[in-house]
Chain A
Amino acid sequence: MTERHPVLRISKLGKTFETRSGSFEALRDVDLSIYEGEFVSIIGHSGCGKSTLLNLVAGLETVTLGGIFLDGILVDGPGPERAVVFQNHSLLPWLTVYGNVRLAVDKVFAGRKTSAERDAWTREMLDLVNMAHPADKRPSEISGGMKQRVGIARALAMEPKVLLLDEPFGALDALTRAQLQDSVMEIHARLGNTVVMITHDVDEAVLLSDRIVMMSNGPAAGIGEIHEVSLQRPRRRLELGEHPDYLAARTAVMRFLTRNRTDKAA
């Protein structure tokens, strides 16, 4: 982090849902700056509003108070410069693997790239996530891990300024999850994109992140603590197990989560 340039700035952000049984304040006074090339995880108990926070950044929900700025410009509504990898992959089942990525490429690069260039870009992105082979398969014909790879390729293909990952590995088994985490680390090392990831997995957060943002419990949740993970990159999961920085980060997050847990959440 030589040049500290905030790509994304969240300022005094508040979100209140109007429900049938009255209003519910999900988030209050969230302040966070995310810098170029940074990998930030947001962790917290379920229901703490971390997904709400991501949806607000993505523009899928409307802000109640405060603002979100991308490169200094106020975010109002969704857009490909804040591409989202959804937890359940959200691939369109009637399109092939290639078609799902191409859909995004065609939209984002309409008028800027020729058809041949868009085809090449689509294939490059599929190659990046090791999904070049099954490009002509439908989502129903591939495994959950492969689907999520395609979801990542689709998001990366939009060349987002910030890549938003919404518990991207939550629905995967442990082995697939580890493989995908390694892939995401590799891609992050290669492309240097700015990433915000929602997770509830402490190890995942420590392994992948430069900073871990810990959220307090709702209602009116906010940022509790922020822990910097100073581990060298590239990080190898097997070597990290006994590393003091790793253990320190892990302990810090665990301590925060344990202290903040509500009785029913444990």
Chain B
Amino acid sequence: MKSAALAIVKPVEEPETDMRETPRPPSTALREPLRREPSRLEAILRPVFLPAVTFALVLLGWTVMQAAFLPAFPDVPTVWNKAVEIFSNPFYVYGPNDMGIAWQVMYSLGRVLAGFFLALAVGIPAGFLIGANKTFEQAWMPLIAILRPVSPLAWLPIGLLVFRAVDPSAIFVIFITSIWPVILNTAAGVKAIPQDYLNVARVLNFDRREMVTKIYVPATLPYMLTGMQLSLSTAWMVIVAAEMLTGGIGIGFYIWDEWNNLSVPSIIVAIVIIGCVGIVLETGMNFVRRRYDYTGKKE
């Protein structure tokens, strides 16, 4: 009798399903002989060993190519010596147009962070308005749709015209770079807030302020962080190009300056530095995201 009634029950929805579950192999019979358990030592060495092999291969290819076809290109020892030279005195200041590599990187980082945080200050509230209010969305989305695909560098002349200085213009370009992902992701996050959360808030008679601080912001945070991560990594790419055009100081200017000096080894060192700083930014953002993103389960 009990079971008869239970049959009326709706099919059980399984909320615990982990979407990221690894797909089951199509046939274990085929896979079995190919796979064996990796030993612990192997597990530790692989992430070090495999990239080391890749790097070694690239260096080897570089050496061979340079010797065979590109005598004008610096060889590996030359670049290495240049790197040692650059890193031996990263903080020197010989005048406003001649500073150590650390200053160059820090100026670039400073511009990126300034533009990025300005974009957050404007983009997050704007995203909230667009996500929460249909009128705002209809009014602003077409404009955003037109401006978003434009390379941020196209704004540089306008920045220079308006601000008549290098620093604010570069920051302005980064601001333009960063703002679109922040607005769009925040708006998407606000729209994705389940009605259930809002119902909870309504039963509790939350006022507008409580609604924003206790429901809207925390519910949207993962989306905002995604937008921020996107912004920051793009901004770091754009700053190099912007500084090539503005001149003065910064890692982008440094590359252009060394090109004018025909010092290709310095450029290669700078490329590696830019990549490493990019990794640091990415890791930092990942850390922040993991800290605040409630949707990701703990690894």
Contacts and interface: CB of A to CB of B under 8 A. Distances in A.
A82 B204 CA distance: 10
Contact of A79 (B5, B15, B205): B205
Interface stretch (A22-30, A124-132, A166-174, A179-187): A166-174
Interface residues of B, number: 31
Interface string A77-111: 11110111010101011110000000110011000
B1 A241 contact: yes
Nearest to B6: A174
A200 B218 CA distance: 34
**Which of B8, B200, B297 has most A Cβ within 10 Å?**
B200
Given A93-B295, A94-B294, A203-B5, A143 B199 contact: no
Interface string B193-205: 0101101101111
A220 interface: no
Contacts of A107: 204-206, 210
Contacts of B205: 78-80, 107
Contacts of B214: 103
A251 to B, nearest CB: 11
Given A143-B16, A201-B8, A92 B203 contact: no
A80 B197 CA distance: 15
A183 B206 CA distance: 29
A202 interface: yes
Nearest to A154: B200
A54 B194 CA distance: 19
Given A58-B203, A83-B203, A94-B218, A88 B196 contact: yes
Given A80-B204, A93-B294, A107-B206, A201 B9 contact: yes
Contacts of A200: 8-10
Contacts of A90: 194, 196-197, 199-200
B20 to A, nearest CB: 13
A77 B205 CA distance: 9
B2 interface: yes
Contacts of A58: 203
A74 interface: no
Interface string A136-172: 0010110110010000000000100000000000111
A73 interface: no
B294 A78 contact: no
A60 B199 contact: yes
**Which of A173, A174, A203 has most B Cβ within 10 Å?**
A203
B16 A138 contact: no
B12 interface: yes
Nearest to A254: B5
A134 B221 CA distance: 24
Interface residues on A, range: 35 or more
Contacts of B206: 107
A77 B204 CA distance: 11
A246 to B, nearest CB: 10
**Which of A59, A78, A250 has most B Cβ within 10 Å?**
A78
B21 interface: no
Contacts of B196: 86, 88, 90
Contacts of A94: 218-219, 221, 294
A92 B197 contact: yes
Given A93-B294, A107-B210, A241-B2, A84 B12 contact: no
B10 A170 contact: yes
B19 to A, nearest CB: 12
Contact of B13 (A82, A143, A147, A171): A171
A130 to B, nearest CB: 19
Interface string B175-208: 0000000000000000000101101101111100
Given A92-B197, A92-B215, A93-B295, A79 B13 contact: no
Interface of A: 58-60, 77-80, 82-84, 86, 88, 90, 92-95, 103-104, 107-108, 138, 140-141, 143-144, 147, 158, 170-174, 177, 200-203, 241, 250
22 contacts: A58-B203, A80-B205, A84-B199, A86-B196, A86-B200, A92-B200, A92-B215, A92-B219, A93-B294, A94-B218, A104-B204, A107-B205, A140-B295, A140-B297, A144-B15, A144-B16, A171-B15, A172-B12, A174-B6, A200-B8, A201-B5, A250-B1
Q: What 3 pairs between A and B have smallest CB-CB spacing?
A: A90-B196, A203-B5, A94-B294
Given A90-B194, A92-B218, A94-B218, 9 more contacts: A60-B203, A78-B205, A90-B200, A107-B206, A171-B15, A174-B6, A201-B8, A203-B5, A250-B1
